[in-house]
Amino acid sequence: MQRVKKLATKFLPILISAGLLFFIIYYTEPPQSWNQASTLQILGLLLPLLVLATFIANLFINYLPRSFIIGLGIMILFVLKSLDILNFLTTPAIILTTIVSFYFFKKPKFTRVTKIPKLKHFKI
């Protein structure tokens, strides 16, 4: 029962963000080109895609800040590819920046919590 609950908490955000992305793609009218797209159309596509990439990465990493960094790196590559700016110089730079940022955010190490002694009330 505990294992099913743990799997449900990991897959539920993925299913919700994938459903939201599908809903936006299905019901939003696509623009003629990337340059003609409104800000709402661009954000409506990229934000659910970023959330989906973050939660999929979180399946394997189990630490949300690092997963967000990976999702953000994927999104930057996706946007540059859609603008046709991605080349052999920008791709390694983005991948290297993502890896360095990934290792910059370390997982916190949990330490043993000690109880704080109760303070005595002093009368003056």
Q: Which helix (H) or strand (E) holds 105?
A: none
Question: pTM of the full predicted structure?
Answer: 0.79
pLDDT at 97: 96
CA-closest candidate to residue 49, choices 78, 69, 26: 78
pLDDT digits (tens, 9 = 90+) for 23-73: 988 988 888 888 888 888 888 889 999 999 999 999 999 899 999 999 999
Mean per-residue pLDDT of the chain: 87
The full set of domain ranges for the chain reads 2-104
